[in-house]
Structure 1
Amino acid sequence: MVSPPHEAMHRIFQHDPGLFSRVSRFLGVDIPTPVKATALPTDLTETNPVERRVDTLLRLETADRGPFLLAVEAQGKKHPDKPASWAYYTAYLWTKYRLPTALLVVCQDHATARWAQQPVSCGPPQLPTLTVQPLVAGPHNMPVITDPEEARADLVLASLAAITHAAEPDVGAILKALSTALRDAPEDIAKPLIEFTAQGLAKRPAKNLWRNLVAVDLSFYKSYLAEEVRKEVRDEVRDEVRDEVRDEVRKEVQDEALTQGEARRAAADVLAVLAERGLTVSEAVRERIGSCDDPEILSRWLRRAVTASTAEEVVAGA
């Protein structure tokens, strides 16, 4: 039952809305006398259910500070309504679970990160009341992991680094370090990270590089992504280099031993990767790749083709 003091302490402001202006001076702020005051309904219950979902919610516990909640939001661009939603999430979670609540926003570009980490208050100027200032992870503060050993030490962090740097110039080196580090990882660890990274890169140009790295560096790995890449490589061989190598490959497969046929297909894969990356392939380089029948050399060339600056670099030094 609501007590009389409780009612008195707030109803007096209904009686004289200008009272708040006068009281504010004792609170260290100076709020001008309102020129208009409107009493609004005090029932904040939502008659129609409103679906509100945080992207990820975790209850974390620490040895020295006890449990807390972590809400994680992925933010692709600036959105003026988001701070209000974040305030709702944190306040609701705090009320429901009675646990300290932290908010982490993950971004992929500097502008969105700068926007997301700015404090936003729901109150009028000088009266912040409730301020939302999430932690922000993005290209401005996530590590640039280009050393395979460093990536191997924390594969999940390396994957997040790749995702948050998807549009950065260093993303190629980051992805190469990650794919190299994943070679030695057990399948149950590598599989979700391969897929997370692919999803995180979305339609950015870096996704094509990642798909090629998966097909080359992680050729042992069987997943829908790897199989999709290999299928696309075969399709591109038919579409882009069929006039140069298709008839020859078919003839080799029919007339030569199985190992020779595999070598020709490997040569076609090298040419397909170079074509996909838009590198110019001279007739001399094309002839050298097409005439090579050593699977080990072709495998090495295929790896080089993913990151080489020119086609000549691929076959340099055999």
Structure 2
Amino acid sequence: MSGAPILATLLREALPGVPVLDLGLPAGRIFPWWPGARCGVADPAALAPAEMALLRRFRQGPAGLPVFGLDRAADAALLAGAPGALGGAAAPLLVLQGGIPDHLAPLLAAGAMLLQGGQTDTMPTPPGPERGRIMLLCGSVSRIERWDLLLPIDEIELVFTRLHVAAQRLAVVLGGAGRWQVGGRMAMARLASLGMLATGAEQVPPLSVPGGALPHDLPDLAEADALRFGASRRLRLLLGALPARPAWLRLRLHGLDPERPPALFLDGRMLPAQLRQEGASQVLEAPVRLRPDLAAVAGLALPEGAAPGLVLLGLEIGT
């Protein structure tokens, strides 16, 4: 079970308005559940050439930002710790799976918060201002994932309280308290812990992302909430690493010709998709089984003769 969907949902409640940079690619487990979060690579040199070539195709948001770590010019302002470089005035949240690469030190020295996956007790202290720690335990009682949230000491109690309230609320939404163990405590001013663990079957919040927030490879820029195909007939979307479970992948579209439905792909394999009308839009959907260790790539291909003007309104993954 992946605890990342629960973790991202809780943190979005506790840290509203905080810009996020998820440096977990070629997996990337937080950004799918945090629309607007920028995705990136902590160690580009570790990528295989084919992975790097694929990831370089993707752009995010109305500014058309590339995957962080793969474009020196686009990364310069962010690496310099410039305020607002991630699109918000607040200090950013960096998401890392493991140690801190040297080139990220300026961001942390400028006050960035840090979310680290795995056992972080033996890792070096991040540069910059002194930080406290909230240990976050997510997943299930049989398989616990640990993440550590490092942030200014004077913010620990407030963020911990918000996380605790959000966890209790989410437990009710996802089936009631009997399906979850939720608890936490403040050990001291600089240290707290919080757990949200499923007691039985996996419970994952449904995923719904506006089209404009999805990393894509269209030549034109995204709008705030949508992706317009223009003259393009093919599209790829970087979904991130998602929980390995049977699910439905759904693309919500506008302007689709039902006589010429597109082909839907996942990681290069064509899916048995079906098309249905839903109000003024169309939904193209197919059953999938996702993998939790590598970012999935969804693809859409329009047939010859398809009329221009197709718009991707959003993507959903659910039961």
Give the TM bin, normalised by the shorter chain: under 0.3
TM-score by length of 1: 0.25
Between Structure 1 and Structure 2, the one with more strand by share is: 2
Q: Normalising to structure 2: TM-score of the pair?
A: 0.25
Identify the structure with the greater helix proportion: 1
Q: Which structure has the larger Rg?
A: 1
